[in-house]
Structures are given as C-alpha cells and as structure tokens.
Chains A and B, each alone.
Chain A
Amino acid sequence: MNRTYAPRAHLDHPPFLYSDYRSTVKRAPSHDLVAIVQTLTETTGPGPAWTELSVDDADLTTNAGTGGEAIGQRSIITGRVVDENGAPVPETLIEVWQANACGRYVHWRETAFPAPLDPNFIGVGQFRTGADGEYRFLTIRPGPYPWGNHPNAWRPAHIHFSLMGPSIATRLVTQMYFPDDPLFGLDPIFQSVPPHSRQRMIATYDHDVTVENWALGYRWDIVLRGPGTTQ
C-alpha cells in the first residue's frame, strides 16, 4: 500500500494562461496535461531529506549579518502548514524571499526601480514547521513595487513562499499577501486566482501574535494536497 495524494484542485489554482499577466501568453502549455497514475516517483520527493539538511534562518531583520537591523515595520508571520484534512505537515521546510520595505529586491536583475537598498536586509530566510505544522518567522513588511506588465503596474506587498512538502505532488510556490491591500484589484497575478480561493493567499492581522512595543503579528495557514485513495 503506497500513500498517494489527492488530485491537484485545478479550479482553486490560477489557469496556466491568464492573458492579463502578459508573460503567461508564451509560457503556458497549450496541450492538455496528461493524467498520470501516481507511482513512487510522484509520491516521494526531496522534501524530507532537503529539510534534514537545512538550518533555520528565521529572522530576516538581522540575518544580513552586518550587526545592523533592517529598516521597516517589524512583522511576525506565523501559521500552520496542514493538508486538506487539516492534518499538520510537520518538519517541512519553508523558504521565503521578499523585497525590502521600499519594495526593492536584492537581485542583479532589479535595476529599473530607483528605490534604496537596505544594507541590513537581504530578504531571504528558511525555517521548518514544528510537530504541529506551525512555523514562525520575523521580518519587515515588504513594500509594493512596480513592474513592466502594463502601464503604471504595481505588485501588492507580498512574500514569496516555497514548500516542498512530503512529495513532488505537494510542491507549492506561492505568495503571501497582507490584508486590505489597495492593489489587489489591479494586480493580474493576484487576480489570476479564482475569486473563491484568493482569500487563502491573504494573511490576517492577529493581535495575539503582535508583541507589545516590538512587532505586528500576522497569521497565515498553508494548505498542501492531502491524502488520496490508497493503492
């Protein structure tokens, strides 16, 4: 008996082709996906071993290693990684990257946006979930930033998340957004997600997570594909 995974819920995810997001036009598959019976190839994946090799690096406000602190609104992001049945996904690695408080990334391709870099902020981190699937990291709230998709295009503030999960079937790369961003309605990447599942990408402000005189708290749960029928 091999564990399998529930199907990818295509209708909860964006389509491959979403023409308002222009670069999907030449990069979306044009043939239908071919169904595959999950074999050991699909029900295994690098997640467990990759997690074992990793070290936690969960404070993005100081991990530039300069001895200085990043400028921006200090924010604690926490939540649980669970499957579709609500079962925790323990000991799984989360990797994150983000822009600084001004909306600037530390990346050689980022040349068009004349916002300042922060010498005390590199914008990357990684950490593992605990036994109950919970994760927590400290960062600064990223700024929105412009991009070239259409005239005067701005991305809502977001943090990029990458999770392997237990198998290649659970691979998830997504973006976490902050509540009430005025740019949601104008952003084709956010809008590419069907309306009923957009809310799942938005963290909620949680005053119980907020630490007095220190940092604001946000909660964001992540749901990976759950178990399928056994074979």
Chain B
Amino acid sequence: MNETIHHGQTPSQTVGPYFTMRLSGEGENVLTTPESVGRRIRIEGRVLDGDRKHIEDALVELWQADSAGRYHHPADRRDDVPMDPAFSGFGRCASDFQTGAYSFLTIKPGPVPHPAGGFQAPHLSLTIQARGMLNPTYTRIYFDDEVEANEVDPVLLSVPDDRRSTLIAVHITDAGSSVPTYRFDIRYQGDDETVFFDV
C-alpha cells in the first residue's frame, strides 16, 4: 500500500498590476551575453485581449534551450550535447504599458528531443500572466523558416491544423538590423486565439 498523504496544490492567484516591483527588472528580456553561442534573434509582439485591446500589464516569461538544444537544467543529462555556460535560457519581460508590446533578444535554439523519439522543431516556451489572469497560460513559439521541422513536430501536429499558425512566429524584414526579427502576438479569445497548452 502506498501510504503517502496527498497534499493539494496551492491555488494560483493573479500576479496583479504591481508585479514589476519584484519580477521582470530592466534588461531581463536580453538573454544573450557577448559570450553566448549561436545566432542572435529578436522576438517581438503584443499581448492582446478579447477586444484586441493591448494588455498593458502582462508578465511574459521565456524559457528555451541553447543553440545546441541543451537546457541549462540538471534534468537535461545529455552529456553528449554541449551546454553553453554563457546562456541561461531564461528571460522575463513586462509588456509595455502604452502598447502591450514585449520583446526578447535571444539566440535561435537547437533541436530538443521528444519522448516519443526524434526531435522537436526549434521552439521557445512562453508563460504569460497578468492582472485579470487567475492562472498562468503557456504557449510555444515556433519559427516560420523551419518549415520542414515544423511539419513533423509532434506538439504542432497535436494542435488542430487551423490553429497551428498561431504558434508560428513570422520573420519580419528589418532593414538596418543585423539581427533577424520574428513577430509573435499573443491573443486571448476569438477565432485566432493563440493556442495555450495544458503543461
């Protein structure tokens, strides 16, 4: 008999309007240092509510693998995949009060294995919280220039095909910038709502 007592999960509550007192300081949306290995990319987008009005107080957290596809975490025990000591894989950004815009400067992640075998397409994980959100919402960012990898990605394939495009960041031409920029809006409600995962 398993006699472990079950302890119920502590309920979630909203992060509220004042989280920037503690969470998401200046510069936490820049994941790269000069030593970080890999191709620099910029992610930018807006957080939008059911009326497509900007959400002025969202906390967007980014988690990702490094350029070799390795996570900076003890549970990633693949010693054959090098870990970049100059890349933590974590960033936070508070959306802009006037526009709802968020952005990250990071590197393009490498492939990460899937438990069913094979590799997943390069992707970033986002966790979004805000005033008016009683629970975190989780989504993923894929890249529109990874067509072949996206076509066989098990997570993308598990999403109804008419909603898959909400998970794919669009490469936008940015003359004068050497850093490729991708656009990824996070939309709540409506036909084009971003897919949120039950992580």
Interface string of A101-125 (1 = CB under 8 A from B): 0000111011000000000001111
Contact: B12 with A174, CB < 8 Å?
A: yes
Q: Do most interface residues of chain A lie in helix, strand or loop, or is the interface mixed?
A: loop
- B9 located at the interface, meaning its Cβ lies under 8 Å from any Cβ of chain A in the complex: yes
- A2 located at the interface, meaning its Cβ lies under 8 Å from any Cβ of chain B in the complex: yes
Query: Which residues of B in the span 169-199 have a Cβ within 8 Å of any Cβ on A?
Result: 188-190, 193, 195-199
- A78 located at the interface, meaning its Cβ lies under 8 Å from any Cβ of chain B in the complex: no
Assuming the contacts A21-B132, A27-B49, A124-B22, asked whether A35 and B198 have C-beta atoms less than 8 A apart, the reply is yes
Binds B, one of A40-48, A68-76, A206-214: A40-48
Give the Cβ gap from B192 to chain A, nearest Cβ, in Å. 10
Residues of B within 8 A of A25 (CB): 50, 132
Query: Which residues of A in the span 147-179 have a Cβ within 8 Å of any Cβ on B?
Result: 160, 162, 166-169, 171-175
Contact: A30 with B190, CB < 8 Å?
A: yes
Contact: B88 with A49, CB < 8 Å?
A: yes
Query: Which residues of B in the span 135-167 have a Cβ within 8 Å of any Cβ on A?
Result: 135-138, 140, 154-155, 158-159, 163
Contact: B75 with A167, CB < 8 Å?
A: yes
Give the Cβ gap from B92 to chain A, nearest Cβ, in Å. 9
Interface string of B104-143 (1 = CB under 8 A from A): 0000000011111000100101010111111111101000
- A223 located at the interface, meaning its Cβ lies under 8 Å from any Cβ of chain B in the complex: yes
Contact: A44 with B196, CB < 8 Å?
A: no
One of A12, A27, A35, A36 near B55 (C-beta < 8 A): A27
Contact: B17 with A201, CB < 8 Å?
A: no
- B21 located at the interface, meaning its Cβ lies under 8 Å from any Cβ of chain A in the complex: yes
Assuming the contacts A34-B198, A39-B114, asked whether A46 and B88 have C-beta atoms less than 8 A apart, the reply is yes
We find that the number of chain B residues with CB closer than 8 angstroms to chain A is 72
Residues of B within 8 A of A14 (CB): 11-13, 134-135
Give the Cβ gap from B14 to chain A, nearest Cβ, in Å. 6
Contact: B76 with A39, CB < 8 Å?
A: no
Contact: B75 with A43, CB < 8 Å?
A: yes
Docked CA distance A142–B7 (Å)? 28
One of B15, B50, B75, B135 near A44 (C-beta < 8 A): B75
Identify the closest chain A residue to B21 (Cβ): A97
Residues of A within 8 A of B75 (CB): 2-3, 40, 43-44, 166-167
Docked CA distance A106–B22 (Å)? 11
One of B8, B22, B120, B134 near A223 (C-beta < 8 A): B8
Residues of A within 8 A of B127 (CB): 168, 171
Assuming the contacts A41-B65, A42-B125, A50-B90, asked whether A86 and B74 have C-beta atoms less than 8 A apart, the reply is no
Contact: B115 with A39, CB < 8 Å?
A: yes
One of A3, A7, A26, A86 near B49 (C-beta < 8 A): A26
Assuming the contacts A8-B199, A27-B55, asked whether A225 and B9 have C-beta atoms less than 8 A apart, the reply is yes
Contact: A173 with B89, CB < 8 Å?
A: no
Q: List 7 A-B contacts (CB under 8 A).
A: A8-B9, A18-B134, A24-B133, A33-B196, A49-B73, A189-B134, A200-B11
Query: Which 5 pairs across A and B sit closest by C-beta, in order of nearness?
Result: A23-B132, A46-B90, A44-B73, A14-B134, A33-B198
